[in-house]
Structure 1
Amino acid sequence: MTGLSSPVRVRAALESLQLKLNGEPAAANTVKRKETVFTNVLRFAIERELLVTLPTAKGDWETPEADDEVDFRFVPGPRLSRRTITATGDQGHRGRHLRAFFGCLYYAAARPAEATALTLSDCTLPKTGWGGLLLSKSTPRVGSAWTNTGESFDSRGLKRRARNATRSVPIPPVLVRMLRDHIEEFDVAEDGRLFRASRGGHLLSKEYGEIWQAARLAVLSEAEATSPLAAKPCSLRHAGVSLWLTSGVAPAEAARRAGHSTAVLFRFYAKVIHGSQKRSNEQIERTLMDADS
């Protein structure tokens, strides 16, 4: 730790964060995440009186700017989203079991780790009309070495929220029917979870990722399949938020439903929001012209 008192060594450590293990440049978001971890280690060293001051403050190194905006060239539109979700149900028994899971990612814009934690008590599923989901947990996969239970996933609160925070999301009739059909065919796990692994345990990203890739190949052309179009299940979440915004949902409400801050929503979905603002401006202009006529 005393070696980190040298700005030269600190800069070498920071610059190494910009590379993958194979020596290739890492993504800006990856560098930013690693830099945060490195800084937290240094702050802990100060608490333990192993360092006097934060060494990174002595240099002028800055974390690379991250481009957080979603690339909408590769986000599936409403028709492709529906076709791919339908195709997941055509992938045998496992596909049928996970069809409603993918529906939650699109129609409720749930994060995959939020959907895997969804229980029956979290759902309001009327026979007709709109229903709702009350999201309260997230179960990301972190590896068994990093959990107290020895499981490969961790049970947490919602992302960037207090542990006991919840988020209510209205869901359209199509998802209500999808979830009701899922429960009727597959029931729920002993703890109430709607979606589970083939052997009954926690649903892991590898399992639903394989189903998604099979469905994706079934609906995309050969050229589309080699592109990043709908490459990962989380692209359904981007598609869902985009659907809300293009349908006229206010950005603040879309952010609330998606579990974003408004600032993050504007950063991620700038192009969609800009398009919505243009339509709003045109509507205001028409109203003003009608008033003058």
Structure 2
Amino acid sequence: YVTPPATGEGPWPPSASPDESGQTSIMQGTLLAFRWAVIPKNAELDPPEELEDAYGWISKKSLLVSSLEDPKILRDVQYRISFKLDGTPAAGETSRRRRRALNTAVEYAIERKLLTENPLTALKKVKSSSSDRVDPRVLVNKTQAAQLLASVSYVGTWDRKKGRRLVGFYAVMYFAGLRPSEAVGLRKADCFLPEKGWGVLTLHDTRPVSGKQWTDSGERHDKRGLKSREAKEDRPVPIPPPLVAMLRAHLKEFGTAKDGRLFTNERGGLVGSSTYWRVWRDAREYALSPDLQASILGGRPYDLRHTCITTWLNAGVPVAEVARRVGNSPEVIHRVYEGCIYGQEEVMNNKIERELDWPV
């Protein structure tokens, strides 16, 4: 835990000397040194020459882990993880994720005998005013979804196939609720694609994007198990005929990567987040009117997953089944999509009325 440096506090290396405002370069130098220090493989190394002074400053200013036993310091740490660097409240899920990370660090400190007990257990959680519920304005309707997927195929030249090879990538998010990291690692062996009727995608792993220094493989996309599941646990997801047809067409035209993955970049490698973000941005310009482009409608590829989940809920699929298919808990589905379920009140009222069967 490090208290942010004050303006003019030194000494600082030339690469991190204060600018006219007295803050930007200082903070940049501190962050560079901190980012270097927390990389596991650098634990036994001396810092680079350009970071020595900043690293030394951090080492001197950092409080000992045992200082978390001081309620005042611990409460200050909890307060800071609930806000972004610009001072605005972080999203509710972001705050919860940071607290879980802090708790994990504290438990590790206990194992290392740096703390005797977990001080977080006696600290009341700070409720964030920010909500992680999905904004209904990001959801696309059926016509818009069709236009967006068609527009993806127009991104890039015909020969390079930049957009065409990713139509199915976005389609598995819209029709099957896959996360982008799950779509990146989807393989032909995971797909049951009959000529007619429903198919099944059986998900086994995910390929999240991380810095190379953080992954075991040394690649930006590390191979991991499914989110919120045991390492070897899979997740079967039934897929409707339109998606089955699209994936069959994709395999016929593009085949697979050497390791059997369905979706690749132009060189046959893993689809990077920067690639599918750029293609999606361009597709929105082709598919949407200027006023909708300026809105948050389908602003992110992940909004296709949100649309899929909302579609299933509004179709009357039980929350528990939706949660199973998309790899969330029912509690998360209830909380995150609370404001997106509509048109069900009358149906539910009729069910209750039939069950009561009370004479009027």
* 1:86 correspondence with 2:150: yes
Q: Distance in 2 between matches of 1:287 and 1:21?
A: 53
Look up the match of 1:220: 288
Give the alignment partner of residue 177 of structure 2, picking from 109, 118, 127.
Answer: 109
Q: Distance in 2 between matches of 1:228 and 1:258?
A: 23
Contact 2:89–2:129 (CA under 8 A) maintained in structure 1? no
Q: Give 3-state SS (helix, strand or coil) of 1:265's partner.
A: helix
Give the alignment partner of residue 98 of structure 2, picking from 30, 34, 37.
Answer: 34
Greater RCO structure (CA 8 Å; 6+ sep): 1
Shift of 1:273: 4.3
Provide the TM-score with structure 1 as the length reference.
Answer: 0.91
Contact 2:314–2:342 (CA under 8 A) maintained in structure 1? no
* 1:18 correspondence with 2:86: no
Look up the match of 2:72: 8
Contact 2:107–2:118 (CA under 8 A) maintained in structure 1? yes
If you compute each CA radius of gyration, which structure gives the higher value, 1 or 2?
2
Look up the match of 1:165: 233
Moved more, 95-104 or 49-58: 49-58
Contact 1:29–1:66 (CA under 8 A) maintained in structure 2? no
Contact 2:89–2:128 (CA under 8 A) maintained in structure 1? no
CA deviation map 1:251-270 (0-9, x unaligned) = 22222211222222222222
Shift of 1:277: 4.6
Contact 1:88–1:211 (CA under 8 A) maintained in structure 2? yes
Moved more, 129-138 or 4-13: 4-13
CA deviation map 1:117-167 (0-9, x unaligned) = 110011111112221111111111121111111101121111101111111
Look up the match of 2:34: none
Look up the match of 1:179: 247
* 1:200 correspondence with 2:268: yes
Look up the match of 2:18: none
Look up the match of 2:214: 146
* CA RMSD between the two structures: 2.3
Ranges of 4+ aligned residues in structure 1 off by more than 4 Å:
283-289
Shift of 1:18: 2.8
Amino acid at match of 1:103: A
Look up the match of 1:97: 165
Amino acid at match of 2:280: W
Count the aligned residue pairs: 291
Contact 1:35–1:63 (CA under 8 A) maintained in structure 2? no
* 1:254 correspondence with 2:314: no
Shift of 1:222: 1.6
Look up the match of 1:134: 202
Provide the TM-score with structure 2 as the length reference.
Answer: 0.75
Contact 1:32–1:63 (CA under 8 A) maintained in structure 2? no
Look up the match of 1:44: 108
Shift of 1:284: 6.6
Shift of 1:43: 1.4
- What runs of 5+ residues in structure 2 fail to find an aligned partner? 1-64
CA deviation map 1:53-72 (0-9, x unaligned) = 22334544525266232211
Give the alignment partner of residue 118 of structure 1, picking from 186, 193, 199.
Answer: 186
